[in-house]
Amino acid sequence: RGTLVATQVRDWAQKRFACQQPLFLEPWVQRTAEAGLQFEIPQQGEPEFVGLALLRCDDRGQYRGSRICVDAQTQETWQPAIEVGQCVAERVQHAAYFGPLGIDAMQYRDARGELQCRPIQDINARYTMGRLALGFARFLKPEQVASWLHFPWKESYGQPFSKWLKCVADMQKSSTRFIATSPDQINGQALRLVNVLLISETTEELYQAEETLMRAVSTLAETAC
């Protein structure tokens, strides 16, 4: 992105070249939405499309979670990518792979401002975070929507993750449920990455809860409650 290469990036690239490893470059585009397309590939029979989860990323493009229970209209906008993904799943199956398959796709605007779709960004022959997120759908009531979010945690914050999360949940005005899906500690050590499941009655409430949580995360070092 931009016209200058940062020293850290240049040093990293030089190390790859020294090891005769390739370096892939692609244009920086205006991302509008990303989705994880989830498939299950059997040993015999057609690959099954399990569902899609919209990806929640931060300003740097780093994955921060998945929105599940996508409405029919949203899924329709991703249908071209789903069809490409189905073809990819079939080719992967022909290569003798069976099991879970996750494909990341992106919608973006080109230099003319027109909406475009990149149906294949990453292909992951494994259980992805989006696939795990879809698993929470079985716990939801009809019409409920949810997000499964992830963010780093530091022991220096000086409070248990569960206590902080309860404080954030109490600040929001909707009926959205904030459910910790990771413990405060494992073997006496604070986790470096924590997870939260948000369950709302409407999409609008879910988006508001996401923003409330992410704002609290961004100011966590300065906030005490």
pLDDT tens track for 17-51: 999 999 888 777 888 999 999 999 999 999 999 99
**What parts of the chain have a pLDDT lower than 70?**
1-2, 221-225
What pLDDT is recorded for position 1?
A: 61
What pLDDT is recorded for position 223?
A: 57
For every residue of the chain, DSSP letters joined together read: --S---HHHHHHHHHHHHTT---------EEEEEEEEEEEE-SSS--EEEEEEEEEE-TT--EEEEEES--HHHHHHTHHHHHHHHHHHHHHHHTT--EEEEEEEEEEE-TTS-EEEEEEEEEESS--HHHHHHHGGGGSPTT-EEEEEEEE--GGG-S-HHHHHHHHHHH--S--EEEE-S-SEETTEE-SEEEEEEEESSHHHHHHHHHHHHHHHHTTTT---
What pLDDT is recorded for position 87?
A: 98
Q: Which domains does the chain have, with CATH numbers?
A: 29-133 (3.30.470.20), 140-225 (3.30.310)
